[in-house]
């Protein structure tokens, strides 16, 4: 690997480490933190999976960002650690922020070998429910403690699941996710204003199609809603391993003409601007739900599952309606309530946007991260 000068030697160099550059929560957060880095920082991105480059062009648009590939393979972990340590030695960063939890142990070890002063890792998901996985995660936390690597969960809800396992490393505390509220709002509003008049009402959800989310309950609820409101559509934006199952469920319920699977998209704010109601149907394993904050920034009335992460993001229901998990009837009733009343939608739109501005701006989030990485007082 050939490494050019990372930038101005008078600035602090910070390395961000991602598993890959596919569309996802870690990748979106990393991109925004790079876009909102202080002017006194040299930015470097290292990604570990060369097969996942969906967002590469977006990262390449970040000014003065050096992007490096450092392949990671499970059966060559020792080689990876030494190779990454050599790379970090050449870069001489002041700090390293690691996004993939689990793999962070090997990156942390490399960083210790390279004598990097500040190491931090983000935890984007709560501890799994399965006892075998809990034992594994407990070991990960203990080893993080031994390496002196603070863990920063994305929410207080996630932190509580870690604390239930064992003592977190010194310096660990939650840093909630953020989004660019003003940009999302502007793009969504332009899309909304340019939307031609229509009789169809759109319900939407943006999320990976995986088992952490609960699209199945949403589709079941939408079947009930669509029976009463035939001029409704459901947009599912995202991709993942559950796509085939969810498409089969859609076909089984004869909703092929009413449900659209958009896949991964780069124009999320514009699509949010075309929606009438936003739903975030998920499980107890939800970590934060940055898409939920983005929907709030887009001034959408929101219905979300009442799990700890959504409860926290919506401020105990201040920014949106909360319904019980795995409850298609209750979800359908909440959706019908919003679809029937323009006044109700306007009321919840205003509350969602106000809460997003106050609590979920990327500026607040980035400020906290860079204070840690630059070893400044928070």
Sheet holding 232-237, edge to edge: 259-263, 232-237, 201-206, 277-280, 302-305, 321-323
Distance of CA 115 to the CA centre of its chain: 30
In sequence order, what are the residues at sequence separation of 6 or more whose Cβ sits closer than 8 angstroms to the Cβ of residue 247? 261
DSSP state of 74: G
Residue 82, helix vs strand vs coil: helix
From the CB of residue 79, how many other CB atoms can be counted at a distance below 10 Å? 12
0.95 exceeded by pTM: no
DSSP code of 139? H
Residues ≥6 apart with Cβ < 8 Å to 349: 299, 300, 301
Task: List pLDDT tens digits, range 251-269.
Answer: 999 999 999 999 999 899 9
Dist CA 97 CA 108 (whole Å): 9
Give the C-alpha distances (Å, rounded to integers) separating 197 from 88, 93, 140, 258, 260: 55, 53, 53, 18, 20
- What is the pLDDT tens value at each position of the chain, 378 positions in all? 445 555 566 789 999 999 999 888 899 899 999 999 999 999 999 999 999 898 999 999 999 999 999 999 999 999 999 999 999 999 999 999 999 999 999 999 999 999 999 999 999 999 998 999 999 999 999 999 999 999 999 999 999 999 999 999 999 999 999 999 999 999 999 999 998 888 899 999 999 999 999 999 999 999 999 999 999 999 999 999 999 999 999 999 999 999 999 999 989 999 999 999 999 999 999 988 889 999 999 999 999 999 999 999 999 999 999 999 999 999 999 999 999 999 999 999 999 999 999 999 999 999 999 999 998 876
Please give the CATH topology (third level) of the domain spanning 12-177+362-373.
Rossmann fold (3.40.50)
Helix or strand or coil: residue 242?
Answer: coil
Q: Which residues pair with 68 in a beta bridge?
A: 46
Identical fold, 12-177+362-373 and 181-359:
yes
Q: Which two tokens stand for residue 228?
A: 């009463």
What is the number of H-type helices and E-type strands within the chain? 15, 12
Let me know the angle formed at the C-alpha of 354 by 349 and 357, rounded to the nearest 5 degrees. 125
**Domain spanning 181-359, CATH class:** alpha beta
Taking only the tens place, the pLDDT of each residue in 60-79 is 999 999 999 999 999 999 99
Asked whether 356 and 181 are in contact (CB, 8 A), the reply is yes
Pair of tokens at residue 17: 């480490």
What single-letter DSSP state applies at residue 9?
Answer: T
DSSP states along 40-52: TEEEEEEES-TT-
Q: What are the b/e assignments for 243-262, b being 16+ CB within 10 Å?
A: beebbebbeeeebeebbebe
Residue extents of the structural domains in the chain: 12-177+362-373, 181-359
């Amino acid at each position: 690997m050939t490494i050019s000068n990372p930038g101005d030697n008078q600035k602090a160099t910070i390395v961000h480490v991602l598993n890959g550059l596919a569309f996802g929560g870690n990748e979106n957060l990393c991109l925004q933190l790079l876009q909102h880095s202080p002017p006194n920082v040299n930015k470097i991105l290292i990604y570990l999976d060369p097969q996942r480059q969906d967002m590469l062009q977006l990262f390449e648009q970040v000014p003065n960002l050096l992007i490096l590939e450092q392949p990671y393979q499970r059966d060559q972990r020792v080689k990876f650690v030494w190779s990454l340590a050599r790379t970090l030695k050449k870069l001489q960063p002041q700090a390293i922020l690691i996004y993939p939890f689990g793999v962070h142990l090997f990156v942390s070890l490399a960083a210790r070998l390279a004598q990097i002063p500040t190491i931090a890792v983000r935890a984007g998901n709560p501890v799994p429910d399965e006892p075998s996985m809990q034992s594994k995660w407990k070991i990960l936390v203990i080893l993080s403690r031994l390496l002196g690597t603070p863990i920063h969960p994305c929410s207080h809800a996630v932190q509580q699941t870690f604390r239930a396992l064992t003592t977190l490393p010194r310096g660990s505390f939650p840093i909630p996710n953020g989004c660019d509220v003003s940009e999302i709002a502007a793009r969504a509003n332009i899309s909304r204003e340019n939307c031609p008049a229509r009789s169809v009402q759109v319900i939407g959800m943006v999320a990976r199609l995986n088992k952490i989310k609960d699209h199945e309950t949403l589709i079941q609820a939408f079947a009930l809603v669509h029976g009463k409101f035939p001029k409704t559509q459901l947009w599912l934006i995202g991709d993942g391993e559950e796509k085939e199952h969810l498409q089969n469920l859609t076909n089984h319920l004869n909703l092929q003409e009413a449900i659209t699977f958009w896949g991964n998209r780069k124009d999320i704010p514009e699509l949010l601007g075309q929606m009438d109601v936003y739903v975030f149907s998920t499980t107890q394993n939800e970590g934060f739900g940055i898409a939920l904050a983005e929907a709030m920034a887009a001034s959408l009335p929101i219905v979300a599952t009442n799990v700890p992460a959504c409860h926290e993001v919506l401020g105990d229901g201040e920014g949106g309606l909360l319904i019980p998990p795995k409850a298609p009837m209750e979800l359908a009733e909440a959706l019908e309530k919003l679809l029937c009343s323009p006044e109700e939608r306007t009321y919840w739109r205003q509350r969602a946007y106000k809460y997003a501005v106050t609590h979920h701006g990327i500026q607040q989030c980035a400020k906290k991260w860079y204070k840690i990485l630059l070893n400044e007082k928070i």
